[in-house]
Chain A
Amino acid sequence: MIKGKTAKEIFDIRFFVRLGCIIVIIALAVFLYFFGKQRTLYVDNWSTEIDGKSYKAVDWAMVEVDDLGDQEYSPRQRRGIALRGTTHTIYITTEDDDFNEIVLDPVEFTLPADQSIISLPALVAGLPADKAIQEFIPEPSPVQASDTAAEEPAVDEFGDMSMDF
C-alpha cells in the first residue's frame, strides 16, 4: 500500500467524499456541454427530393423554432437559426390553395450534427422529422481574406507589448 497505509486507511470516508465531488463535477461538465452547446439549424424552403419522392417549395409559411420568434418563408428561402440544447420543436403555419391558414402539429426533433438542414416542404407534406432533417455540409470555399485577417496579431487593452519579452 501507499507509504505503509492499509487499504482501510486509504479508502476512508474522506476518499469517498472526494471521489463523489469529482464525479459530480464531471457530471456537471457533461451537462454543461450538452446544455450549452450551440448548433445551427438551416430551415430550407427549396424544392427537394427525399427517398426518391419530390417535395415542392411551400408558397408561404410562418415558422418558429423553440419560441425564438416567427419567421416568414417564401419559396427558395433558407435561414440559419442558432439553437442550444438537445431537443427542439418546430411550429409551422402555412396556407392551402384557397389561402386558408393551416396550423400544423408541432414537430419535435434532435439535431444530427453541428450544422443541420431541415426541409420545410417535407415537413409540410407530413414526412417525419428524422427524414426531413440531415447534416448540412457546406461546399468547401477557397481561403478567404478573412482567414488571413484572423492571423493578424490582436492588440488587447494593454497595447502590443509582446516585443518586450
Chain B
Amino acid sequence: MKREINSKDVRNFLSNNIVPIIFIVLCAACFPVAGYSPEYLADQIITRIMRNSFLVLSLLIPIMAGMGLNFGMTLGAMAGQIGIIFITAWNVVGIPGLLLAAIIATPIAVLLGWFCGKMLNMARGREMITSYMISFFMNGVYQLVVLYGMGPVIPIHSDQVILPRGYGVRNTIDLLNVRKSIDNFWSIKLFADENGVGGINIPILTIILIALLCVVIIWFRKTKIGQDMRAVGQDMEVAREAGIKVERTRVLAIVISTVFAAYGMVIYLSNMGTLNTYNSHSQIGMFSIAALLVGGASVSKASIKNVFLGIVLFHLMFILTPQAGKNLIGQAQIGEFFRVFVSYGVITLALVLYEIRTRREKAESAKTLALSQMQEAQA
C-alpha cells in the first residue's frame, strides 16, 4: 500500500535534516560564484575525504555508547602527532615510518583514552563539555612535554625536529619523508590529459583502509561488546540491570575512539605533509565533529553515511567560500570569516536542535502517558 506524504512528514524530514540542507543550499549558491571546474572540485573533495574520513569515523563509537560527540578525540590526535614526531626524528620513511608511528601512538592513545573514559564516567550526563575540557587540559600537558620534555628528557636530537636552542619541538615539521606515502603507494588517475597533467587522483590503498574501518565499525556493532554499547547508549540503568558492565563499556568506547583518532591523525598528517606541532590536534577535533554534524548526525545518532556526506559538504564549503568571497567582494578573507562562523555555528545549531528534539520527544511521551492513564481511569 502506498503511503501518502503529508505535510508532517515533510516537516519531520526538514527538521531532521536541516543542517545538511543548509549546507547543500550554501554550496549550490557558492559554486557558480567561485568559478571552479567540477574536475578540480572532485579532485579536492576526494583528497579531503581520504584525509579526514578516518578521523571522523573515529567519532561513531562513543555516539553509539551514548557518550555524545567525543571532543576527547583530540587526545588521540596528540598521540598520533607524537608518533609522527618520533619517526621524523629517527628518519624512518615511507609506509614503514607511518606504521611505526601508528605503533608508537597506540599505547599513548590507549592510556589517554582510558584516562578520558574514567573522567567521563565520573561526569556522567555531561560527557561532551567534560571531554572538551579534558582536551584543553591534556593540550597543556602535551605542550609541556613537546616544548620542554623533548630534547633533554626524551632523547630526540634531530635538527629537523628540535629547535636550534637544543630542546622543544619546532612549530612546523616538514614530513617530506612520509608525505603521501599511502596515497601514492597505489593510485590511479582519471581524466588526465596525455601528459598525465590534471585529472582526478584516486588513492586506492587509502580507500581500502577507510573501507576496512567502515567494515570494522559495521562488524563491531554486531558483536557482543557492540550490542552492549548500544544498550548502554539507550539506557544505562536498564543495561546495568541486564548485567552489562556499564562503566567498562563506556571506557572501552572512548579508548577505541581515541586509538582510531590516533591512526586517523597519522593518515591526515601523511597526506598533509606538514605537522603544525602546537595547533593541528586542537583544530582537527573541532572540524571532525563539525563535519559529522553537517552530514546530518546528531549527538545521539550517527552513521557511516553521515560521515561521508558531512565530509563532502563541509569541505566543499571550505573550498568554495574563500573563492566565492574573493570573487564577490574582492577579499578572500570574507570567505575565511564565513567558514569560521559556519564551523562553530553548525555545532551550536546541532546541539540546540538536539536539545529541542529531546524536549519535544519527552513532552510527547509524557502526553501519551497522561492520555493512556486518563483512558485507564475512565475505563
> Interface on A for B, CB 8 Å cutoff?
25, 28-29, 32-33, 35-39, 84, 114, 143, 147, 150-159, 161-162, 164-165
Contacts and interface: CB of A to CB of B under 8 A. Distances in A.
Q: Report the 10 A-B pairs with minimum CB-CB distance, sorted nearest first.
A: A36-B96, A154-B172, A36-B92, A32-B100, A154-B276, A32-B96, A38-B93, A29-B103, A162-B279, A38-B91
B276 A164 contact: no
Nearest to B103: A29
Contacts of B106: 25
B104 interface: yes
B276 A37 contact: no
B92 A38 contact: yes
Nearest to B274: A154
B272 interface: yes
A155 B275 CA distance: 10
Interface residues on B, range: 35 or more
Contact of A33 (B90, B164, B274, B282): B90
30 contacts: A25-B103, A28-B99, A29-B100, A29-B103, A32-B99, A32-B100, A33-B90, A33-B92, A35-B96, A36-B87, A36-B95, A36-B99, A37-B91, A38-B93, A150-B172, A151-B171, A152-B171, A153-B172, A153-B279, A154-B276, A154-B279, A156-B272, A157-B51, A158-B287, A159-B336, A161-B283, A162-B278, A162-B279, A162-B283, A165-B282
Nearest to B159: A147
Interface in B99-116: 99-100, 103-104, 106
A29 B283 contact: no
B177 interface: yes
A85 to B, nearest CB: 10
Contact of B93 (A36, A150, A155, A161): A36
Nearest to B284: A158
Most buried by B among A35, A36, A165: A36
A17 to B, nearest CB: 17
Nearest to B171: A151
Contacts of A35: 96
A36 B283 contact: no
Interface in B60-115: 87, 90-97, 99-100, 103-104, 106
A155 B280 CA distance: 9
B172 A151 contact: yes
A35 B98 CA distance: 12
B229 to A, nearest CB: 21
Interface in B343-365: 344
A151 B147 CA distance: 13
A57 B95 CA distance: 39
A164 B340 CA distance: 9
Nearest to B174: A150
A151 B174 CA distance: 11
B301 interface: no
B148 interface: no
A102 B295 CA distance: 67
B171 A28 contact: no
